[in-house]
Amino acid sequence: CGFRLQSNYQFPEELAQIQLNSADDQGELHRLVKERLRLANIEVVEDDTAPRLWLGQDHLERSTLSLFPSGQVAEYELIYSVTSSITVGEQAPQSFNIEIRRDYLDDPRTALAKNRELELLLGEMRAQAADRIMRALSSTRIDSETAH
Amino acid sequence: LDDDYRQPIKVTSDNSSADIQSYTLIYSGNVRIVQGSMEIKADELKVISSAEKGNEVMIATGKPATYTQMMENGLPAEAQAKEIRYEVRTRQLTLSGDAQLSQAGSLMRGNTISYNVEKQQLIAEGKEDEQITTIFLPADLDTENQSETEPKPEPEAEPKP
Amino acid sequence: ESLSVSRCVVHPPMELLPTEPEQAEAGIAPNQLPIKVNADRSEAVAGDSARFEGNVKLRQGMRQISAQSAEVSQLEGSFSAQGELVYQDPAVAISADSLNADMDDYNAELNRAQYWLRGQQVHGKAEQLKIEGENNLLLSSATFTTCPQDDPDWLLEAKEINIDANEEWGEIWHAKVKLFDVPVFYVPYMTVPVSSKRKSGFLFPEFSTSTKNGVDVAVPYYWNIAPNLDATLTTQYMSSRGLFLRGEGRYLQPYGAGQVNLEYISGDRLLDDSPDRYLIHFEHAGKLENNWRLYGNFTTVSDDNYFNDFDSDVSASTDNQITREGEASYFTDKWDFAVRVQDIEVLGDSSKPFQVMPSLSFDYRNPNLWGPLDFTFGTELTHFAHKESDHLTATRWHMEPTLTLPYQTPAGSLTTEVKLMQTFYEQRDPSDQLEDFVSRTLPQFRLHGQVNFERNSRFGDGSYTQTLEPQFQYLYVPKVDQSDIGLYDTALLQEDYYGLFRDRRFSGLDRIADANQLTLGVSSRFFDGNHAERAQVSVGQILYFDDSEVGLGDDQSQIRSSNSALAAELELQASRRWFLSGSLQFDTQSGDTNKSEVLVDYRANADKLIQLSHRYVPNLGTDTEGNPIDINQAGIRTTWPLSDELYFVGNYYYDLNLSRSVESYAGLQYESCCWAIRLAYYRHLNTNYEDGDFSTISPRDDFDSGVTLKFVLKGLGSSGPLGVQDMLDEGVFNYRRPYYLRN
């Protein structure tokens, strides 16, 4: 059916070395992205001329999805959002907003356990966001003259 | 300075000629007029004298003709214009044609400037489409850099808005 | 866009200078700059004073005064001008009859002036206007408005107005507010923001009526204590309850930012014994330079229904828990450490969760410890206390060394992970059912692989790159009896597509389920020409080779079937504005649906959208008679501009099982350049707790309804359209509660 293994290198070779800085460079998102860069053997460097991946401050919000017939909240929705951008050479920064939604059933009878579930979901959403950032990185537009 | 006008007037130039009938002397070629601390330099000078002594009128023209004099407050006054007319008796100086005069931290530019050295009074007037410009340096700035003789070169008179 | 900034910003009727200084003058203090005067004619006594006539223009740095005639006295540094006078500087433009100014200390006085704040909508007239210092305006018997027209819709006539342009806010004394030339109310003193930097908010009184609170007038007062310290004090009068006072202080310091909220009503007349009701809230989050982070959050309220009855600044009616938390954490590249205390109070429910007093956690990461092997070690020591005196308490120490062998290429990845989980419990159980000391050792083996295929494919109008990403995960955890361990922070985890690839079925650490299972999943994504992801569909399921007997004591948490529900997710951007998303959990054996959600979105922009949604979640709980409660809810949400100035905001959520609306909200907002009026009707299921005990979730037909009419004066601080975002926040379903993101 025409499928072939993704053989060409996922990331444009201009991005073999990039700078990684973020609003919270000790935050977990920063660590997850750094880990994925390492696995995709993209070298994280300090020099200013390299393309620059910027991770904005991430945010978590909760909104109500459904109510029990009694009026008590049945399901919540967790919305994790972060903006990130990649700047290559003189090109204008390409920014992308990532929003990940997971729904979650809150149960007052097991409040502490549900709080642990929320932290687990947050970790999963951050991992998903890190994957999306890597996918966005792999689809960065490079117009050759300005890049060098 | 005040006792300048009691000083003799010395005029030097490349050559000079006279027209006795109209009592006018004409000097031409880097003319210099000195009276005490006042000094006028010009390309050509006409001195029109009349019956009494010390009533002469000097008309210096140049591109531009320049005038400097030391004032009572120790600050020099400098001026330039296409034509500088100086009446010795009234000590009235009239500059016309791109006239410019700077003195004690203020610079004035316009079409004609009349400056009475004795009363230290200045009147400046522009032409129809050219206003006069005056630049004041705020008092404390002025005393700070006493040495600055010539204020920063300013662009020519601005056209009327 | 119609109400864009350009249409509403007031343009003073004079030619304006640029607001940026030329290079030469940038560094010099304004009153040190030379003064340049143009005029038709001038008379001066050298070094003393000068008089100018004929369209005089005086300029010092970025300030300019133009008039028919002017006098400058250089000795006293004073200046006066008359005749068609215009004064302007980067912050303000003023036309007046006359002006006299002192050039040394840089202030001026104008009479019968008309002023415009540049780049703002603020303008007005003043009998007398003083400019002091850099740009501090003192106006007496003045008017103030943000409406661009000559005769403005609303106008504030005040005895005194002081506008501080670099603090960017204004103080107004003895103000009479006139609406369409009708005096509406009198305010002795008020503060207004004059730039978007300041907290703009609605600093003018708000009127609303509702069945619950009757007529409701809230008058906010914004107090700008210091550049990094401000407070908003709101007095709110509710006819059916009484006087409700709300105070919120915010601070921003180098070491951290935070806020303090105090809210109080003495004698709430709506409740029979008219009790005093209050809220106390404190929150701080800070980063110290030496990698330490501090976070503190404390909330206490007088009763369970507090958030239902009052619109507090801290939480909304749908929040049924308040937390008291404190955490100090330390981060480095290789490891991080945190100490945390946590006490959750559940509103309206008798069950009290364990308190974490404290928990110490340490995580160490060492990629490439031996060649390609990554090593991580996490440990957590937690003491679980409890509010009730003779209640089960315990101390738990958990360790988790993990070795991972990642292998990743563009074509796919294979990750092998081996983990050993060792946990010690020391439990003090007054009823002696649980062992005093328990040790649990559990190894875990996980193997995850993924292959990435791609091809070009045509789809409707365009050509796309389509990827196909099958992935599998094998998980093995042996069975260890854990029935003699108490349940402290453990509950069954909810499953969706992403949950299939987790290595745990329970949250917390008190139950680690035995597992011998294989998860299979496949995702396919469509990328358009410029690499944007336009569609994504994923399907997955877990095959259980053995039953999983570790549970929470009820049968629902054990696994006896041969496979899990099939979980599927779909996200599709059909066109520039149409979006479709859905998720489904389908039990392949019993054939019934465990959960389904469908969303259809038409999104033109933030203020123009329609969303249709349907949620179906069977037996999510049981009511008092024991029969299961299903969620079967359809909803529509929209904000829609009816005209340039008129917006409609609507919500309608319908419970298909009980065929009744759960929430209906309809709001209209008319917005002109300088004011907006908002009329909204809402009717939603009452979310408050009856007499304290809330163990049942059986149906209840007690609705809350109300009409709110809000009048807002606009253009203070931020100009431009108000938008309807905060109107959206009023519905039960729209309110978005921000969370502090712990790392």
pLDDT digits (tens, 9 = 90+) for C427-447: 999 988 888 999 999 999 999
Decide if C528 touches A, using CB distance below 8 A: no
Cβ atoms of C436 and C444 closer than 8 Å: no
Query: Which residues, numbered 170 to 189 in chain C, qualify as contacts with chain A under a Cβ-Cβ cut-off of 8 Å?
Result: none
Decide if C372 touches A, using CB distance below 8 A: no
Q: Which of A6, A8, A26 sits opposite C291 (nearest CB)?
A: A26
Confidence at residue C361, expressed as pLDDT on a 0 to 100 scale: 96
Cα separation, C667 vs C651, whole angstroms: 9
* Record: contact C40-B106, CB cut-off 8 A: no
Q: Count other C-beta atoms under 10 Å from residue C316's C-beta.
A: 19
Chains that touch C (3 or more CB pairs under 8 A): A, B
* Record: contact C455-A60, CB cut-off 8 A: no
Place of tokens 């560094």: C27
Cα separation, C324 vs C297, whole angstroms: 6
Confidence at residue C335, expressed as pLDDT on a 0 to 100 scale: 92
- Residues in chain B closer than 8 A to C57 (CB atoms): 161
- Interface probe with C: pick from A68, A118, A128, most Cβ of C within 10 Å: A68
Residue C257 has pLDDT above 80, yes or no: yes
Query: What percent of chain C has pLDDT above 90?
Result: 36
The whole-angstrom distance between C134's CA and the closest CA on chain B is: 17
Choose among B111, B94, B86: nearest CA to B34: B86
Name the token pair of C315. Answer: 């939480």
Confidence at residue B149, expressed as pLDDT on a 0 to 100 scale: 36
- Residues in chain A closer than 8 A to C597 (CB atoms): 103
Q: Which of B77, B110, B135 sits opposite C36 (nearest CB)?
A: B135
Confidence at residue A123, expressed as pLDDT on a 0 to 100 scale: 93
* Record: contact A116-C631, CB cut-off 8 A: no
pLDDT level of residue B152 (50, 70, 90 thresholds):
very low
Residue B10 has pLDDT above 80, yes or no: yes
- Residues in chain C closer than 8 A to B161 (CB atoms): 55, 57
Question: Who wins on pLDDT, C569 or C314?
Answer: C569
- Residues in chain B closer than 8 A to C34 (CB atoms): 135-138, 141, 151
Choose among B67, B4, B106: nearest CA to C45: B106
Residues whose CB is less than 8 angstroms from the CB of residue A25 and which lie 6 or more positions away in sequence, other chains included: none
Confidence at residue C699, expressed as pLDDT on a 0 to 100 scale: 63
Q: Which of A64, A71, A111 sits opposite C700 (nearest CB)?
A: A71
Beta bridge partners of C515: C477
- Residues in chain C closer than 8 A to A28 (CB atoms): 743
Cα separation, A123 vs C315, whole angstroms: 24
Question: Who wins on pLDDT, C625 or C117?
Answer: C117
Cα separation, C546 vs B110, whole angstroms: 104
| Mean pLDDT over the full length of chain A | 86
CA distances from C610 to B29, C189, C667 (A): 91, 43, 14
Diameter of chain B measured on Cα atoms: 54
Decide if C330 touches A, using CB distance below 8 A: no
* C345: closest chain A residue by CA: A111
Name the token pair of A8. Answer: 């060409």
Element (DSSP H or E) covering residue C7: helix C5-8
Place of tokens 């959960």: C595
Which SS3 state, helix, strand or coil, does residue C556 take?
helix
Chains B and C touch (3+ CB pairs under 8 A): yes
Helix axis angle for A28-39 and A111-138, nearest 10°, is 40
Interval C574-591: pLDDT, tens: 888 999 999 999 988 888
- Residues in chain A closer than 8 A to C408 (CB atoms): 39-40
The whole-angstrom distance between B145's CA and the closest CA on chain C is: 13
Mean pLDDT, to the nearest integer, of C78-83?
A: 87
Place of tokens 């403005």: C152
Report the residue count for chain A. 148
Residue C36 has pLDDT above 50, yes or no: yes
Cα separation, C544 vs C511, whole angstroms: 18
Chains B and A touch (3+ CB pairs under 8 A): no
- Interface probe with B: pick from C15, C22, C38, C56, most Cβ of B within 10 Å: C38
Mean pLDDT, to the nearest integer, of A123-133?
A: 92
Residue C551 has pLDDT above 50, yes or no: yes
* Record: contact C50-B75, CB cut-off 8 A: no
- Interface probe with C: pick from B106, B108, B117, most Cβ of C within 10 Å: B106
Confidence at residue C686, expressed as pLDDT on a 0 to 100 scale: 74
Confidence at residue B161, expressed as pLDDT on a 0 to 100 scale: 36
Cβ atoms of C401 and C422 closer than 8 Å: no
* β-pair type (A43-44, A17-22): parallel
Confidence at residue B138, expressed as pLDDT on a 0 to 100 scale: 65
| Most confident of the ranges B75-84, C93-102, C373-382 | C373-382
Cα separation, C192 vs A92, whole angstroms: 38
Confidence at residue C725, expressed as pLDDT on a 0 to 100 scale: 65
Cα separation, C716 vs C156, whole angstroms: 13
Cβ atoms of C121 and C715 closer than 8 Å: yes
Query: Which residues, numbered 56 to 75 in chain C, qualify as contacts with chain B under a Cβ-Cβ cut-off of 8 Å?
Result: 57, 72, 74-75
* Record: contact C354-A112, CB cut-off 8 A: yes
Interval C129-150: pLDDT, tens: 998 876 788 999 999 888 887 7
Decide if C463 touches A, using CB distance below 8 A: no
Confidence at residue C688, expressed as pLDDT on a 0 to 100 scale: 63
What are the b/e assignments for C668-701, b being 16+ CB within 10 Å? bbebbbbbbebebebebbbbbbeeeebebbebee
Mean pLDDT, to the nearest integer, of C222-238?
A: 83
Which SS3 state, helix, strand or coil, does residue C715 take?
coil
Mean pLDDT, to the nearest integer, of A56-77?
A: 86
B-C C-beta contacts closer than 8 Å: 103
The whole-angstrom distance between A5's CA and the closest CA on chain C is: 4
* Record: contact C41-B73, CB cut-off 8 A: no
* C72: closest chain B residue by CA: B136
Cis omega before residue B138 (within 30°)? no
Q: Provide the terminal-to-terminal Cα distance of chain C, rounded to the nearest Å.
A: 41
* β-pair type (C412-428, C373-385): unpaired
Confidence at residue C218, expressed as pLDDT on a 0 to 100 scale: 82
CA distances from C331 to C292, C335, C380 (A): 7, 7, 16
Query: What percent of chain C has pLDDT above 70?
Result: 88
- Residues in chain B closer than 8 A to C37 (CB atoms): 133-136
What's this model's pTM, rounded to 2 decimal places? Answer: 0.76
Q: What is the interface pTM, i.e. ipTM, of the complex?
A: 0.73
Confidence at residue C330, expressed as pLDDT on a 0 to 100 scale: 93
Confidence at residue B143, expressed as pLDDT on a 0 to 100 scale: 41
Which SS3 state, helix, strand or coil, does residue C8 take?
helix
Confidence at residue C605, expressed as pLDDT on a 0 to 100 scale: 82
- Interface probe with C: pick from A66, A125, A141, most Cβ of C within 10 Å: A66
CA C555 to chain centroid: 40
φ, ψ of residue C699 in degrees (nearest 5): -55, 150
For A68: left if phi > 0, alpha if psi spans -120 to 50, otherwise beta; the answer is beta
* C366: closest chain A residue by CA: A35
* Record: contact B104-C35, CB cut-off 8 A: no
Residues whose CB is less than 8 angstroms from the CB of residue C461 and which lie 6 or more positions away in sequence, other chains included: none
Confidence at residue C472, expressed as pLDDT on a 0 to 100 scale: 96
* Record: contact C498-A79, CB cut-off 8 A: no
Mean pLDDT, to the nearest integer, of C611-621?
A: 88
pLDDT level of residue B139 (50, 70, 90 thresholds):
low
Residue B147 has pLDDT above 60, yes or no: no
| Mean pLDDT over the full length of chain C | 84
Name the token pair of A69. Answer: 């017939």
- Interface probe with C: pick from B75, B131, B141, most Cβ of C within 10 Å: B131
Confidence at residue C199, expressed as pLDDT on a 0 to 100 scale: 52
CA angle C1, C6, C11 (to 5 degrees): 160
Confidence at residue C673, expressed as pLDDT on a 0 to 100 scale: 80
Diameter of chain C measured on Cα atoms: 108
Residue B141 has pLDDT above 90, yes or no: no
Residues whose CB is less than 8 angstroms from the CB of residue C568 and which lie 6 or more positions away in sequence, other chains included: C497, C537, C538, C539, C540, C583, C584, C585, C586
φ, ψ of residue C26 in degrees (nearest 5): -55, -45
Mean pLDDT, to the nearest integer, of C609-620?
A: 90
Confidence at residue C543, expressed as pLDDT on a 0 to 100 scale: 94
* Record: contact C44-B121, CB cut-off 8 A: yes
What are the b/e assignments for C112-123, b being 16+ CB within 10 Å? ebbbbbbebbbb
Residue C691 has pLDDT above 70, yes or no: no
